[in-house]
Structure 1
Amino acid sequence: MSDQRPLPFVYQFLAGAVAGVSEILVMYPLDVVKTRIQLQVGGGGKGEYTGIIDCLTKIVKNEGPSRLYRGISAPILMEAPKRATKFAANDEWGKVYKRAFGVTEMTQPLAVLTGATAGATESFVVVPFELVKIRLQDKTSKYTGMGEVVKHIVKEEGPLALYNGLEATLWRHIVWNAGYFGVIFQVRSLLPKAETPTQKTVNDLISGAIGGTVGTLFNTPFDVVKSRIQNTPKVEGVARKYNWTFPSLALIMKEEGFSALYKGFLPKVLRLGPGGGILLVVFTNTMDFFRKVYYKD
């Protein structure tokens, strides 16, 4: 970025919030499709949905277009703290690591380490929202909204059940953020230096989209497991089929084949590739606006 003057934490938080809400409003239907496909149990093309277009068509035809935005209230409420935490934590952890390693400039390994730590930080914010979203997106869901889901989970499974899937979420976010921020750093260094605001936006869109794609490639298996874990209610005296990340990865591979670990990959990468670009562009432009206000350029 052309302007790296530091800003107080609150500005980073607000810029991340604006970026997150912008991305979710544009890309949410693909998240619904991804979740529906991930929750299908069975390999070899079995299941109600055979692909993105088939899933989109069936949802619109059988359930109505509004179903593509079912559960969006949870992500909208989540996106502000989630994305704000992602970018703010990435910036703050970057400062910590540069001091710890005695360097003044970010490097590729530090970008990966910083992204991974930011992802872990972000996970603790998002788990309850993700759980509610998954329960609402499931085709068999009978819930009418966020409040009903939370009330049911707390009553039937206990308050701690809102953090079901925390371990899988940690892995998902650590891997995605490490890939996303690490790749952004590398791609930016390879692109021509931005001399104009338009070129800067193009560079951010390219690096963010590539970073989002690479992050998605590495973290999709953890996302599949997270969806399965969070959609399985806790029932006293009944062992949950999906509980911990790596045993669940092994179980899915055994029962459905390796390809099942990448269920929902295409809608996920179509969302988080371009979505990663949208995030970065909106975040950096919002931060530039805040710098102009803060430093009164």
Structure 2
Amino acid sequence: MSSQDKPLPFVYQFAAGAIAGVSEILVMYPTDVVKTRQQLATESIGMVQTFQNIIRSEGPGRLYRGILAPILMEAPKRATKFAANDSWGKVYRNAFGAQKMTQGLSILTGATAGATEAFVVVPFELVKIRLQDKASGGKYAGPGDALMKIIKNEGPMALYNGLESTLWRHILWNAGYFGCIFQVRQLLPAAESKKSQIGNDIIAGSVGGTVGTIVNTPMDVVKSRIQNSPKVAGVVPKYNWAWPSVFMVLREEGFGALYRGFAPKVLRLGPGGGILLVVYTGVMDWFRQMGVGSK
């Protein structure tokens, strides 16, 4: 029985999501640093060149700069992603009188789960972006120092700078991710063994992660720029609201700028989406084998 057939209580979803999220980020985080650098740049620099520039001028350790914030974020973030998707799925099935999930319901529940997830991740994302940027990263000794300085210099609400763009980013990615997982699972042969289930989940999760990334990258670009713009009293930042920022980047830098950082992002979230689904499903199935959550 797969994890999607027999939901466990929230605490087990939380633990499985946390383990899946931390596993994914430990493997894929350097690509996220490169992605952020490319998104913040106003000129086009290739992924390989960006990797080389960081290692040569700042050292390989810089590729893991700011990782503490996303690691601390992964437990609530991934738990919220999967638990909210399951919970909203029940709500929508009841609302529409559907016995089982459909393609449309999978997209709708994914989008709603993404919106729910966004409220959890914004402060962590903001600290991560500030630490990853070459220009601003040197101002902070680490995540805790960045957090305190942002609150002191910009106010507590600055931690939710970029909430709107983060909402759009997560709505779009989760809708594509969970919608594709549902569709790909329907197209693949039924899993007859644990090995074939893992294979199916790798394919479904990787396709979902890739499609979600294609859909949401423009919003991720402007989110990075919005969150890297410090709040100054009486000054309206250049990048402020999501969709106006998208059109500003399009007008000033061209369509390609909206997909700056796409290569490292899709390299992370394509395979990363497969890692997430495989680990989450595997941990949930392990919980069932251990008999946890059963009365």
Q: Residue 256 of structure 2 corresponds to which residue in structure 1?
A: 259
Establish whether residue 199 from structure 1 lines up as the match of residue 200 from structure 2: no
Q: Distance between the aligned counterparts of 1:207 and 1:59, measured in 2?
A: 33
CA contact (8 A) 1:2 1:194 kept: no
Deviations 1:258-292 (A, max 9, x none): 11000000100000000000000000001101112
Give the residue type in structure 2 aligned to 1:24: I
Give the residue type in structure 2 aligned to 1:82: K
Establish whether residue 130 from structure 1 lines up as the match of residue 131 from structure 2: no
Q: Give the direction of change, closer, same or farther, for the CA distance of 1:295–1:132 in structure 2 (3 Å limit).
A: closer
Q: Residue 16 of structure 2 corresponds to which residue in structure 1?
A: 15
Q: Distance between the aligned counterparts of 2:128 and 2:96, measured in 1?
A: 39
Q: Residue 94 of structure 1 corresponds to which residue in structure 2?
A: 89
What secondary structure is seen at the aligned counterpart in 2 of 1:233? coil
CA contact (8 A) 2:2 2:285 kept: no
Which consecutive residues of structure 2, in runs of 5 or more, have no partner in the other structure? none
CA contact (8 A) 1:34 1:264 kept: yes
Q: Distance between the aligned counterparts of 1:169 and 1:124, measured in 2?
A: 8
175, 178, 188: which is aligned to 1:178?
175
Q: Residue 39 of structure 1 corresponds to which residue in structure 2?
A: 40
Q: Distance between the aligned counterparts of 1:238 and 1:9, measured in 2?
A: 43
54, 67, 70: which is aligned to 2:62?
67
Which consecutive residues of structure 1, in runs of 5 or more, have no partner in the other structure? none
The 4+ residue runs of structure 1 with deviation greater than 6 A are none
What secondary structure is seen at the aligned counterpart in 1 of 2:239? coil
Deviations 1:105-125 (A, max 9, x none): 110000000000000000000
What secondary structure is seen at the aligned counterpart in 1 of 2:240? coil
Q: Residue 221 of structure 1 corresponds to which residue in structure 2?
A: 218
Q: Distance between the aligned counterparts of 1:168 and 1:295, measured in 2?
A: 37
Q: Distance between the aligned counterparts of 2:148 and 2:242, measured in 1?
A: 26
99, 104, 126: which is aligned to 2:99?
104
Give the residue type in structure 2 aligned to 1:190: L
* Superposition deviation, residue 295 in structure 1: 6.4
Deviations 1:65-124 (A, max 9, x none): 100000000000001110111001101111111111112211000000000000000000
247, 250, 265: which is aligned to 2:247?
250
Matches within 5 A, 1:105-184: 105-140=100-135, 141-142=137-138, 143-184=140-181
Deviations 1:220-262 (A, max 9, x none): 0000000000000011122200000011011101110011000
Percent identical pairs in the alignment equals 69
What secondary structure is seen at the aligned counterpart in 2 of 1:106? coil
Q: Distance between the aligned counterparts of 1:295 and 1:12, measured in 2?
A: 11
The range that moved more, 178-187 or 136-145, is 136-145
